[in-house]
Amino acid sequence: MRVLGIETSCDETGVAVYDTAAGLLAQRLHTQVDLHARYGGVVPELASRDHVRRLVPLIEAVLAESNTPKASLDAIACTEGPGLAGALLVGASVAHALGYALGKPVVGVHHLEGHLLSPLLAQPRPAFPFVALLVSGGHTQFHDVEGVGRYRLCGDTLDDAAGEAFDKTATLLGLPYPGGPALAKLAESGRDGKASLPRPMIDSGDLRMSFSGLKTAVATLVRKRAADGALDAQAKADIALEFQHAVVDVLVAKSLAALRTTGRERLVVAGGVGANRELRARLVAEVARRGREVYFPDPALCTDNGAMIALAGALRLADAKPGDGSFTVRPRWELAALPRA
Ligand code: KG4
Ligand code: ZN
């Protein structure tokens, strides 16, 4: 079965072709980072218009690269939600128009299910069941995953997501949007032990997390250093490194606790912050020390992409609707509302 995947929920236009026998055949991504950078965040109307410009050429490129004539597609998958309504509508209308024209089924994919299942694109592929750490700009959650659509939320942040904390802290340090990768880069020149930040809720004894206080602690530290006339480039790098250590310490401790409390053997990590090198290295070391396994998608597939939507669509082909041209999008959509596959 060959599935075209389309992701347009936010500020990346992602398209891919996934084959259930041969794996990922082609994928392309256009990121709108430059478009939104001067506004300091995503401007929904600009995002939608850019998806309109980019999507069809990207589809043509992946179909050509994977030697897939349109008529040989078995299904088309698009992100149905959650996300920006206008942006979702672009991907959904193209997917459903294509489905209608070709007489092929269309699968509406839940964006977070796409992230959650994205480690299945890696080799080796993790077997079910596993604990998933979903750590993105909007979510920091643990799910006990028994199969497709069988997700039990077992841990969550009480306030900001880890990625959001990275982005806000980056802004405090004067880094451009989106802050996570820029902050991680700055941290590379930081020195250990030159700044001190809390590890929120690390000893709470459960899988709850909180990252907004950490961001406030950075704000206080930045103000203090500035007042002392000591907020130079090195000081900012030191703070960036300590911030990254703090987030990673919490995520590693909670991941180990999640494995312990669920009794699962495998941890999979998904979502944009999963691209963070320190997080990956620490999880590999700490999980292995306890005789368990950890799986990550390729760093390029941690952030939004079409490949995870094509994969999730392929795993949910049974839910596909005939391409009759009618469709809906769901800007708000709870993961728990999904049926079992
Ligand atoms: O999954 P994603 O692309 O979008 C959603 O939120 O759905 O995640 C984006 C988040 C942003 O907050 C971004 O700053 C963060 O992931 N991020 C990183 C890194 N790369 C992306 N955070 C830390 N280190 C990174 N290398
Ligand atoms: Zn995402």
Residue keyed to tokens 């459960």 = 206
Peptide bond into 69 cis (omega under 30): no
Is ligand 1 within 6 A of the CB of residue 108? no
**Once rounded to an integer, what is the mean pLDDT over residues 138-156?**
96
Atom in ligand 1 nearest the alpha carbon of residue 271: 1
Domain with CATH 3.30.420.40 in the chain: 2-117+301-337, 129-296
Helices (H), the chain: 33-37, 44-65, 85-102, 111-117, 162-172, 179-187, 212-227, 233-262, 277-289, 306-315
Is ligand 1 within 6 A of the CB of residue 48? no
**Once rounded to an integer, what is the mean pLDDT over residues 107-111?**
96
Specify the DSSP class assigned to residue 20. Answer: T
Residue keyed to tokens 């030191």 = 238
| pLDDT tens-place string over residues 9-37 | 999 999 999 999 999 999 999 999 999 98
CATH of domain 129-296: 3.30.420.40
243 closest CA partner among 300, 160, 318: 160
- Looking at residue 264, what is its pLDDT? 98
- Looking at residue 288, what is its pLDDT? 97
CA distance 95 to 301: 21
- Looking at residue 245, what is its pLDDT? 98
115 closest CA partner among 294, 332, 307: 307
Q: Kindly give the distance from the C-alpha atom of residue 202 to the centroid of ligand 1, in angstroms, as a whole number.
A: 22
Q: Is the pLDDT of residue 321 over 90?
A: no
CA distance 92 to 13: 12
Kindly report the average pLDDT of the chain as a whole number: 96
Is ligand 1 within 6 A of the CB of residue 44? no
pLDDT band of residue 300 (cuts 50, 70, 90) is very high
- Looking at residue 109, what is its pLDDT? 97
pLDDT band of residue 324 (cuts 50, 70, 90) is confident
- Looking at residue 263, what is its pLDDT? 98
Q: Which fold has domain 2-117+301-337?
A: Nucleotidyltransferase; domain 5 (3.30.420)
Q: Kindly give the distance from the C-alpha atom of residue 257 to the centroid of ligand 2, in angstroms, as a whole number.
A: 24
